[in-house]
A and B are shown apart, each in its own frame.
Chain A
Amino acid sequence: MANIIFTKGLDTFTFTKGRSYPLDDPAAVNVPVDYSEGGQLYAYDKGIEEQFFNLVFERIPKTDYDEVETWLKTTVVGPKDTFTYTDEDSGAHTVRMLDTKNPLREVAYEMYSGTIHLREEM
């Protein structure tokens, strides 16, 4: 398994460490429902399907933290721009970073932990 890669145009970086388990990559649909007086279900498909990737990193080095900081602030500007997320199985996804501030925290000297939230529109 390869490490996770973020790519946008010529900008790219690879995490030096794999993400931690359990993996949390839920899919979602936008189908609000309602009922009639007689119990009839009304379910309207109101939107596209969504795929979320919650990348949990534990004790990654400062170099990774700095890459994420630059990615967030400069490369994609938080959720503003899409980029390519390449997963551990080399699958490519066009995603947005849902975070608006760096989710990684320094848990030990130059060791960082946190969860990066990505959303793929399907």
Chain B
Amino acid sequence: MRSYNANFVTEKNKRSDGPAPVNLITFDFATPVDLSDRDVTPTGGDAHTGLVKDWGFIDSAIAQTPGRGVLGVIEIPDLQLTIINTETPRFSDNFTEADPPENVTVTLYQWFDGLLDTEKEIIFEGTILGQPAYDEYTCTLTVRGIFEKYNIRIGEDLVINAADYPDADPNDIGKMLCLGYGTLKKVPFRAVDAGAITTLMEDITTASATLKLSDSSAFPANGTVQIGSEQITYTGNVANELTGCSRGQNGTTAAEHDAGADIAEIQADYYYLFGNAVKAIDAVYVAGVRQDGNYTTYTGQSGNECPGYPGKAAIKFSTLPILIRQVNVDVNDTIDVNDTIDVSDTIDVSDTIDVSDTIDVSDTIDVSDGIGVSDGIDVADTIAMSSTLSQNCFSTDADLPATFNVDSKSYSTTKTISYGGAYWDPAFTSGNSTNHYSLLIYYSAIVNTAPMGGIMSLLVYPGSEPRGTDKKTLFMMNASGIQTTENPGVFNITADDYPTISIELHVSSDAAWDGDVDIVVTGIQLILHEYEIDSDKTGAATKTGAATKTGSATKTGDATKTGSATKTGSATKTGSATKTGAATKTGTVTLVGNSVADTVIGGQVTADIEGYQDYEVDTYTGTLDALIERPDHVFKHLWCVLLGAPSGDIDAVTFNASGTFYDANSYIFGHLITEPVQAEELLMKLALQCRSRFFVTPYGTAKLIVRELGQASGHAIAKNEIKRDSMSVQRSATSELINNFNIHYNKNHSQEGNYPEDYQSVKNFQDATSIGRYGTRTWNGKKDLFYFDAVVADAMAQDVGDFLLSYHDIVRKCPRLGVFLDNCEIEPGDIIDITHPLDSMSGFICEVQKIIHRLGSARKKVVDHLTINTVEN
């Protein structure tokens, strides 16, 4: 929260009772230019010309917020201006080659008409960003916040180049001399004067007097070189060849060397350099192996500086720093194996496989049977039949004789003769209706003439009408005379028929009849036989003999099968196989290599160090010679020393408060800068690693604020102070939630990469409640989100990780509102509380993330106001 002088506060807090806000701007050209949107001269101040046509706005924000990205950068505020360019001289005439606008500092003040010039307050300070545009009427330009001036690329002046370090190891050309804060292990020292190094182009023997090198240009015309453990003197250096070589010098032994072997110049001393003076240098390593003597260390502090390299830590070796390793022999095995072994297999196979056949058979075969059967069986029936002959009955008819005169063709006459009473009284013995009866009709007739032609017949029908078809022809006459056919006529009747019975005599002639005949039936005798069939038959019928069949049956056609058969079960093998015979090996084993110790030349030189130290009482740490490692101390040192910014721009209030927090929680940095880095990137990265915000206000003050949740409000905004229709709430995007991430820390500084394997410790942070609610949320799919190259301690990594998880694992409300100048003390990073009917906000506590200060305009009829973006705290 900004603080202003009392009279300024009185004016800014006025609402409708006469405040007259005026913006005053000063351009620090060789001859300063003071402008405003009207001609005005504050009491005791300079005259400002009213050439500003449009003020635009000032935007200022802090990074690392939901909606801005966890790994956002420090945002540098801007101010857009449009200035009238019609006066003489024109405003743009101030842009000269000698005094280019890009370097001009611009300061904007808020002032109220009636105040003294000294009572104005700065609200923006910056430099003109490139490419101001102007014509005869207006000049438009963008002024960038003052941090842009200090947003340098740190370490660029420490990059090793051949001009500044002609004797540097070519492998280190282009690398940066490292800078270090805090306690660091195995940090690289660059070889700035370590003699020339190259490689052999050809194998050499122990007697070779000429060495062919990949590049001998960096070697002196004559001198001494070392290959492996052998030192060799030479007298000539021409066309990448060292000539006049004397082998095995300075107590060493001549040896064979292979092409590609490192060859190093022998010189009196070898210098390895760090980028800054350090508090201490402890262990020294070559190729990762700690060295025991043979070197001198310089901290670079006053009184302990390496000659030729003031103000920088250095290590000087008095002999070539090498590392001797064990023998490295390769075995080359070319043995061939000739195998003639026979295998005898006596294994039994026991098959318990079941076959399941589902095949269908379709039979279309026809059978032709020509077999004959000859039955010679005899049947012997011994069944007895019991037959009882019934009484014969007799009767006569009173109607007889009956005469028929057949004298015409197609004659037909019927005469019915009924029997009963005295004429028909048969007495049957059984009267059993189940018995069988047989009626025999006898007749006697006289035929008085001979036939003349045609046919005449006498038929008899027993029984009553309707007459059945059971008729008998008693006689038939034709030209040949009487042809008697039946006498008696025999009829089977039932017992029901006999009580009364009638017969019909039917005489007829055919159409060919040619005669006149009288037939006189003189008598008819009826005899009724009753007989009983005894059903009780006993005995058995037997058949004897044999039936024989002869001939043959033949089948034609095809039978087809469909479907498949399956097998189940397993086969087991028992028994053993035996091998006989022998294998023979031919060929040789050879050894390659020189069987001498492997000498590493040009290995990386590293050291354990304590980095920057305080050099005056109360400068950065408060203690002379103290190690600069607490985050606020590091930020101060960075700001003042590496960025070259004024120490007076550091906000003591926020820095001190942060320092108290770091001290209480044992936050310390161990950070190594190995390559040039943009200041804003480094500051943001370090702030993240100590859960803080570092930012530079629009008015040019550097602030450091520890990020915390559940903070108390420092300023209340009531509904009556919020610009009409400006209040809105946005919820942070779930896509920007993080509830599962890793923090890699405790960096291995001998590895200059930035990958998980370059760190010695890792912690995972995840929140089950958040994961249950939103699913697993990483950042852009990356779980390995944070690489904390300045954090060494477990407790600090845990504390920072816990905070980041709790901050980012939920969706937060982000109120946005407008206020007027009576709230212009609010700035990013402040904790405020809002009371407004929307969302029933009553003292809703949030952190200010961004402010856009819209400068008022008479021309546009706009009142000065601020748009504030916040996030729930």
Q: Which residues of A contact B (CB under 8 A)?
A: 30, 32-48, 80
Contact = CB atoms under 8 A, between A and B. Distances in A.
B38 A48 contact: yes
Nearest to A79: B86
Given A35-B724, A40-B16, 14 more contacts: A32-B860, A32-B862, A33-B16, A34-B865, A36-B723, A38-B719, A38-B720, A39-B720, A40-B15, A41-B15, A44-B19, A44-B20, A44-B856, A45-B20
Contact of A47 (B19, B38, B722): B38
Contacts of B862: 32
A45 B724 contact: no
A44 B854 CA distance: 14
A32 B21 CA distance: 11
B863 interface: yes
Q: Quick one: which of A39, A43, A44, A47 has the most chain B CB within 10 A?
A: A44
B858 A47 contact: yes
B640 interface: no
Given A45-B18, A47-B38, A48-B38, A40 B861 contact: no
A30 to B, nearest CB: 4
Given A44-B20, A45-B18, A36 B722 contact: yes
Contacts of B860: 32
A32 B38 contact: no
Contacts of B37: 46-47
Contacts of A41: 15-16
B124 to A, nearest CB: 18
A34 B820 contact: yes
B857 interface: yes
Contact of B727 (A37, A44, A46): A37
B836 interface: yes
Residue of B16, B19, B719, B821 with most chain A CB atoms under a 10 A cut-off: B16
B117 interface: no
Contacts of B720: 36-40
B537 to A, nearest CB: 132
Contacts of A39: 720
Contacts of A40: 15-16, 720-721
A100 to B, nearest CB: 13
A110 to B, nearest CB: 36
A32 B861 contact: yes
B721 A32 contact: no
A36 to B, nearest CB: 5
Interface string B9-32: 000000110111100000000000
Interface of B: 15-16, 18-21, 37-38, 86, 113, 718-727, 820-821, 836, 856-858, 860-865
Enumerate the 5 nearest inter-chain pairs by beta-carbon distance, A residue then B residue, closest first.
Answer: A38-B720, A30-B858, A46-B858, A47-B858, A45-B20
Contacts of B21: 44, 46
Of the candidates B113, B727, B836, B863, the one having the most CB atoms from chain A within 10 angstroms of its own CB is B863
A42 B38 contact: no
B858 A36 contact: no
B16 A32 contact: no
Nearest to A30: B858
Contact of A37 (B38, B113, B722): B722
A80 B864 CA distance: 29
Contacts of B16: 33, 40-43
A80 B136 CA distance: 13
A42 B863 contact: yes
Contacts of B865: 34
Contacts of A43: 15-16, 863
A36 B720 CA distance: 6
Contacts of B836: 37
B86 to A, nearest CB: 8
Nearest to A41: B16
Contacts of A47: 37-38, 858
A45 B16 CA distance: 9
Q: Which of the listed residues A32, A38, A39, A46 has the most CB atoms from chain B within 10 Å of its own CB?
A: A46
A40 B865 CA distance: 14
A97 to B, nearest CB: 16
Contact of A32 (B719, B724, B727, B856): B856
B835 to A, nearest CB: 10
21 contacts: A30-B858, A32-B861, A32-B862, A32-B863, A34-B724, A34-B820, A36-B720, A36-B722, A36-B723, A37-B719, A37-B720, A38-B720, A40-B15, A41-B16, A42-B16, A44-B21, A44-B856, A45-B18, A45-B19, A45-B113, A46-B858
Contacts of B18: 45
Nearest to B18: A45
Nearest to B821: A44
Given A37-B719, A41-B16, A46 B856 contact: yes
B856 to A, nearest CB: 5
B253 to A, nearest CB: 92
A67 to B, nearest CB: 26
Contact of A33 (B38, B722, B725, B863): B863
B741 to A, nearest CB: 40
A79 to B, nearest CB: 10
Contacts of A35: 723-724
Given A38-B720, A43-B16, A45-B113, A32 B820 contact: no
A120 to B, nearest CB: 14
A24 to B, nearest CB: 22
A27 B668 CA distance: 66
Nearest to A43: B16
Given A30-B858, A32-B858, A36-B719, A44 B863 contact: yes
Contacts of A30: 858
B864 A44 contact: yes
Nearest to B40: A48
Nearest to B17: A43
A45 B19 CA distance: 6
- Candidate in B718, B726, B858 with the most chain A CB atoms within 10 angstroms: B858
Contacts of B723: 34-37
